[in-house]
Structure 1
Amino acid sequence: MNDKIQTEDTVDEKHGTVLDTVIQVTQAEHELGFWKGAKLYPKAVFWSAFFCIAVIMAGFDPQLVSSFYALPAFQKKYGQLYEGEYIISAPWQTGLGMGNAVGQLVGALACGWPLERFGRKRTLAACCCWSIAWIFMQFFSSNLTILCIGEIFAGLGYGFYVVIAPVYASDVCPLALRGVLTASVNLAFVIGQFIAQGTAAGVESKTDALAYKIPFAIQWVWPVILLVGLCFAPESPYWLVRQGRRDDAKHALEKLTSNKDRTGLDAMLVLIEETDLLEREIEASTTYLDCFKGSNLRRTEICTMVYLIQVIGGNPLIGYSTFFFTQAGLASANAFYMGVGNTALGFVGTCLSWPLMLKHGRRTIYIRGMAVMTTILFIIGFLDIPKHNTGAIWAQATFMDIWTFVYQMTVGPICFVLICEVSSTRLRGRTIAIATAVQSLFGIVFTIGMPYMLSSEQGDWKGKAGYLFGAISACCLVWCYLRLPETFGRTFQELDIIFDAGISARKFASYEVVQEVHELRKVE
């Protein structure tokens, strides 16, 4: 009997020590500032940025292909004559755009299992090899059918990339750096789009096959860089803990921080283990079905919607910006220059989002951004009322650039922060995969519709597309107000507790979690 009492006392003492450690580490996470965090975790910053190189590819290819629709050499090689000019027909624009989107949809859904089975590093390495192979088909394609097949299979890899990068960033960085590093995924998209626009503008005057082959060849650079760097990258400590590889997880933490304090690393490891334990108590398994059970259903809804808004809230107009500018009446060269300026503003906007999210909440930035973007879309629509007015055309192009700037400063980067913070650590890969797949599915819908909407031989909507996207954006703004929670300044464990408690979105920021942390996993 005495032995039993002593054993229970020992368990209680050990459990109390663990809880004390969790509380201390949580408090330390809250007190850690951005610059101190960057100094303490410089390698986490580097490797998060390194994994985002994969997302550059995902931003580069779709933007490049849509820019080719206004490229004279590409039009002459793959297009057809229409009223004395070569054009890429709306059906083929749809087919090429759908190829990439379909590939991303399938790739995102397929990503969940290998990501959990083989880890982040090996999965990304396999995808790089896959991309290298299918770029050959794009480069040597002799007709639009072969090019479309290449887009489909290359898109499979992009579906993996856009899941792996935010998952890895959220796994390796502390609370103080989580917003900026996960938002860097959006910056990688913008960089890819910017390089694509700049490359297309640089070859616009070329009349031979190099005008479109050079941009395709550039895509071989990034997977090679990734394959070399992955040999030295640390694996996700969260994934290693789930695999029961505690020592490897600790070694990974050592590679991510400049702090060699063993006690501090042990404490951080305890927090990771306790977060995983809490989530295992909430959900016993990690299947796609679990993403739709209990509190995870709400988390999946939020992740899916904030990602979906990127597609349905006006972004398709930006993806077709160069083509839109030419259809609106700008000369080909001016359209390409406006396209480059559009993505350059996106780059600046994303960088400005970093200081914003260090001071303001995710919900606040997202909702205010949506309000401004919705207004701009309606303005673009109203500016289409004057017919054949050069000033109105330039005003539309300018407002598209402003829309891009606001989007990339608010909704664009905050989306990736939210999908990483809202999803549970155990289901993060699958939750983001679902959100990516839904986004890609609706991307296919707009890929089918946009060419018919904008093409001069079809709908010829021009700026009137702003009415459609403005109305959709307004509906999304209402959803954001009612359903989007504030995750700023919360550890993953705190977010697990709040979601499990069913707290409403508007009360997330004020909810106190301290008492619940003290009550975690009491010994029965």
Structure 2
Amino acid sequence: MGNANDEAIQHIGKDQHEDLHEQSKVATDIEHSLGVIEAVKLYPMAVVWATLFAWSLVMVGYDSGIIYSFYALPAFVKKYGTYYGPEIGYEVSAKWQNVLGMGTPVGQFLGAFTASWPMERWGRKKVFAVSLFFTTAWIFLQMFANDIHTLAAGEFLAGIVYGTYVVLAPTYASEVCPLALRGILNAGMNLAYVIGQFVASGVGKGVATRTDQWAYRIPFAVQWTWIPILAIGLYFAPESPWWLVRKGRVEEAEAVLRRLAKESPKVDIRATLANIQATTLHEIEVEKDTTYLECFRGSNRARTEVAIMVQIWQVITGISLIGYAVYFFELAGLPVSASFDMGVGNTAIGFVATCCSWVFMSFFGRRTIFMYGVGGMAVALFIIGGLDCAPNYSKRPGFAWAQAALLDILTFVFQGTVGPVNFVIFAEIGATRLRSQTVALATSSGSIFQIVMTIAIPYMLNASAANWRGKTGFFFGGISAIAVVWCYFRLPETKGRTFEELDFMFEARVPPRKFKDYKIMNAEDGSEA
């Protein structure tokens, strides 16, 4: 794919190799000298366009949040659930919770896995536009579903498009933003996701007392509100300069770079363009092609492992339990109204925590934040499980409120560390020519494990099944502890590294634990870092 374009880039690189290399070094020095505030001032439009693409993840977060809150919504449960007698009442069976819950992750798996090819062939903008069109159609199917089978089909089809957004948004942000903003704006992907969940909680709370069909149809209709905004913004948005260079459209890439930045002595468009060309040229020389198979060859194997594993840990260390927050609160013994109130508060905490993650990333590296994050989650989860084992648990409501508070703490830790940093790591860890493929593989792998969690959690929580309640904390706490060990040995530090520097360190097989202090200049003269 793109062989003719690669040959053209190689030809340019051979003729001007030394000049490109020198200008690339200038761009790297400028990138390292920029602070966050200065980068925002110099690249305001890069922030705007990255935010536009990130806003698509609001829809992803909203869809996943609203479907779980429906299980605590009396009107929805009565419409699609089964009556289990006076003791339990109406409940959407674990089987159908699985089917509805799996619609989005199964769809996301397919959407993410297939997204990279059209993104590389037709560009980021065209794929985004087509995705918006199909999102509009599938919302219609969800809203007017007369039975649970149609609703499940709507969730699955919408999930395919949402998988495309999950690949598109971080890929685009990584390609339009300078190094200083790469982490913050990719962490913003998680913020968009949390905003979607927050809106879903608020909408769910607003319709909780309704007993008619609009109790669950209004929440679906709300999703239409942001599509026109995204479509209008997309019309004016620039294409990715990295993609344009790979297609041999260097002049267009230069024009895009000028649109993204203000004129300033600290902005050297020609040097930035040379850095993109030099990095692309180097990767063409090292990598045989841009297929998924290339992601598992040579130094790319370790990069792909990191991208996949951080996404998997993000899914199986507690977010699945957080997604069931409202339902969990109700099962713990809180009233329906209080459960929805706690659900809204839980997503508000997630919003604040994600904003805090920007501060954390200014002082600490990706590796530190992620590793300590899963460690903190393990502690909170084990305590949640321990409280559920207390004598006379069901007769002591204080334990239910304590678990609810701990779930809020768990949410803060997750959304302040693992959640946003996960987006940063898998968006920047892959080689630039394989970025969309790497992000797609990570997203698809996460979706597979999300499917597993979607199947397992209803059986863990439901009163008509295992009825573990808070004891699920032991399960997720154990997984989080394993994640800490993996992070220590396998997670490299990527903070403050350009894509060119990351290429060098992975090709030099620098141990993950030594990425933070590794000196590129030492490696060039053959000495140890």
Q: TM-score, normalised by structure 2?
A: 0.94
- The answer for the alignment partner of 2:272 in structure 1 is 268
**What's the CA shift string for 1:10-49, capped at 9, x where partnerless?**
x999543332211121111101111110000000011111
- Pick from 485, 490, 498 the counterpart of residue 497 of structure 2: 490
Is 2:439 the partner of 1:424? no
- The answer for the alignment partner of 1:283 in structure 2 is 287
Alignment map for 1:198-347 (pairs within 5 Å): 198-259=202-263, 264-347=268-351
Amino acid of the structure 1 residue aligned with 2:301: L
Asked if the contact 2:241/2:257 (under 8 Å) is kept, the reply is yes
Alignment map for 1:27-426 (pairs within 5 Å): 27-84=29-86, 85-259=89-263, 264-386=268-390, 387-388=393-394, 389-426=396-433
Asked if the contact 1:125/1:226 (under 8 Å) is kept, the reply is no
Of 341-350 and 251-260, the range deviating more from structure 2: 251-260
SS at match of 2:72: coil
Amino acid of the structure 1 residue aligned with 2:432: T
Give the distance between the partners of 2:285 and 2:504, measured in 1 at CA: 11
SS at match of 2:83: strand
Give the distance between the partners of 2:340 and 2:85, measured in 1 at CA: 22
- The answer for the alignment partner of 1:3 in structure 2 is none
Alignment map for 1:466-481 (pairs within 5 Å): 466-481=473-488
Amino acid of the structure 2 residue aligned with 1:497: F
Asked if the contact 1:19/1:518 (under 8 Å) is kept, the reply is no
Give the distance between the partners of 1:515 and 1:87, measured in 2 at CA: 63
Amino acid of the structure 2 residue aligned with 1:362: R
Of 20-29 and 454-463, the range deviating more from structure 2: 20-29
Superposed displacement of residue 260, structure 1? 6.6
Superposed displacement of residue 517, structure 1? 6.7
Superposed displacement of residue 222, structure 1? 2.2
Give the distance between the partners of 1:250 and 1:375, measured in 2 at CA: 49
Give the distance between the partners of 2:246 and 2:15, measured in 1 at CA: 25
Asked if the contact 2:50/2:176 (under 8 Å) is kept, the reply is yes
SS at match of 1:297: helix
Give the distance between the partners of 2:505 and 2:206, measured in 1 at CA: 51
Give the distance between the partners of 2:329 and 2:112, measured in 1 at CA: 32
Superposed displacement of residue 434, structure 1? 0.6
- The answer for the alignment partner of 1:4 in structure 2 is none
Is 2:522 the partner of 1:511? no
Amino acid of the structure 2 residue aligned with 1:485: P
Asked if the contact 1:23/1:517 (under 8 Å) is kept, the reply is no
Amino acid of the structure 1 residue aligned with 2:400: I
SS at match of 2:123: helix
Asked if the contact 2:21/2:274 (under 8 Å) is kept, the reply is no
Gapped regions of structure 2 (runs ≥ 5): 1-12
Give the distance between the partners of 1:159 and 1:320, measured in 2 at CA: 21
SS at match of 2:208: coil
Asked if the contact 1:497/1:516 (under 8 Å) is kept, the reply is no
Amino acid of the structure 2 residue aligned with 1:60: Y
SS at match of 1:220: helix
Q: TM-score, normalised by structure 1?
A: 0.95
Superposed displacement of residue 368, structure 1? 1.2
Asked if the contact 2:109/2:445 (under 8 Å) is kept, the reply is yes
Superposed displacement of residue 255, structure 1? 1.3
Give the distance between the partners of 1:314 and 1:105, measured in 2 at CA: 20
Give the distance between the partners of 1:117 and 1:14, measured in 2 at CA: 27
1:211/1:425 CA distance change after superposition, 3 Å: same
CA RMSD, Structure 1 to Structure 2 (Å): 1.6
Asked if the contact 1:200/1:336 (under 8 Å) is kept, the reply is yes
Give the distance between the partners of 1:217 and 1:288, measured in 2 at CA: 37
Give the distance between the partners of 1:39 and 1:512, measured in 2 at CA: 29
**What's the CA shift string for 1:493-518, capped at 9, x where partnerless?**
00000001101011111111136679
Amino acid of the structure 1 residue aligned with 2:71: Y
- The answer for the alignment partner of 1:21 in structure 2 is 23
**What's the CA shift string for 1:442-477, capped at 9, x where partnerless?**
111110111111000000000000000001111111
1:14/1:290 CA distance change after superposition, 3 Å: closer
Aligned residues: 509
